[in-house]
């Protein structure tokens, strides 16, 4: 079968990965000040950081419209035997709802809720592309994706909480306490929702090393094909610390370093890095 894989900009895959697998990406909308921009097309995370640093409000993000999905789905449905589209978790955005509505009546278009975000979502997109390239039929791919979604392990550690405070996701007291005690919270995605998993204390690079060690050390239940280190702008030393820690602990076949797009970065701000992989 000739299968087209599509996804949203929230999957945070690198341009090289998107091009390698001929994945179509639908950009979400990001409103910075009075401008409505497209995530990864007209705007990059640095635009958001500059706007906020100058006293601007956090940008608002908006899902891809039903009409935009429908136009592309109809085109791809005519060109390919099947289309498989993967969305960010329904708990984070109405993209899945809009895409499902757009696919109504198109029997060869399948819409899958990743139950995740960022490259937790992206891991399933890569899985779909690999299976499609192997010649597997679309219904079987969709079945495997739905079985794999609960096995995705996605988490992030944050150096600063000011964006979370601005977005109303934590209080001023929480931010003050975290700053005074040098606490770096780990945010974990569980069943499509974000929860605080653990708090680390100390310098950020040291916390990153401890965090990654906690996530993957001594485990034999990991799918070692891919692991992502996805960040919203951290120092080169922090990235190197993360890479060195991963390589010392697990023999992943491919360690992918990617930058979070505007949609994710607008919520967490700069200074966030996560490790994302699939369990067996």
Q: Where in the chain is the domain with CATH 3.30.1180.10?
A: 151-279
- Which tens digit of pLDDT belongs to each residue from 242-260? 999 999 999 999 999 999 9
pLDDT, position 174? 46
Rg, the chain, Cα only: 19
Mean per-residue pLDDT over the chain, rounded: 90
Beginning with the edge strand found earlier in the chain, give each strand of the sheet holding 82-87 in spatial order: 24-26, 3-8, 82-87, 109-113
Are residues 278 and 223 in contact, defined by beta-carbon separation less than 8 angstroms? yes
* Ranges of the chain whose pLDDT falls below 70: 162-182
Predicted local confidence at residue 49, as pLDDT: 87
CATH number attached to the domain at 151-279:
3.30.1180.10
**What pLDDT shows up at residue 267?**
79
pLDDT of residue 178: 46
**Residue 107 in tokens:** 């029997």
pLDDT at res. 190: 86
pLDDT at 66: 98
Give the residue range(s) of CATH 3.40.50.10170 domains in the chain.
3-146
List the one residue out of 12, 6, 193, 27 whose CA is nearest residue 119.
12
Domain 3-146 annotated CATH 3.40.50.10490: no
- Tell me the pLDDT tens digit for each residue of 24-61: 999 999 988 888 899 989 988 898 888 888 888 888 88
């Amino acid at each position: 079968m000739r299968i087209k894989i599509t996804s949203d900009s929230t999957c945070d895959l690198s341009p090289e990965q998107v091009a390698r697998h001929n994945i179509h990406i639908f950009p979400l909308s990001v409103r910075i000040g009075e401008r409505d921009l497209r995530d990864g097309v007209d705007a990059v995370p640095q635009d958001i950081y500059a706007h906020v640093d100058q006293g601007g409000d956090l940008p608002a993000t908006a899902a891809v419209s039903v009409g935009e999905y429908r136009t592309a789905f109809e085109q791809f449905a005519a060109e390919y035997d099947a289309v498989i589209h993967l969305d960010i978790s329904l708990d984070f955005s109405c993209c899945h709802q809009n895409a499902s509505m757009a696919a109504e009546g198109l029997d060869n278009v399948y819409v899958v809720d990743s139950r995740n975000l960022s490259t937790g979502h992206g891991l399933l997109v890569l899985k779909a592309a690999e299976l499609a390239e192997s010649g597997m039929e679309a219904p079987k791919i969709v079945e495997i994706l739905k079985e794999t979604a609960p096995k995705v392990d996605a988490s992030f550690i944050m150096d600063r909480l000011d964006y979370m405070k601005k977005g109303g996701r934590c209080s001023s007291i929480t931010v003050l306490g975290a700053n005074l005690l040098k606490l770096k919270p780990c945010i974990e995605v569980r069943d499509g929702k974000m929860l605080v998993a653990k708090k680390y204390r100390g310098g950020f690079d040291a916390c990153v090393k401890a965090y990654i060690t906690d996530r993957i050390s001594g485990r034999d239940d990991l799918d070692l094909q891919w692991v992502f280190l996805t960040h919203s702008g951290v120092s080169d030393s922090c990235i190197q610390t993360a890479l060195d820690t991963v390589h010392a602990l697990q023999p992943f076949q491919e360690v992918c370093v990617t930058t979070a797009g505007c949609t994710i970065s607008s919520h967490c701000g700069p200074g966030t890095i996560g490790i994302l992989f699939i369990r067996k």
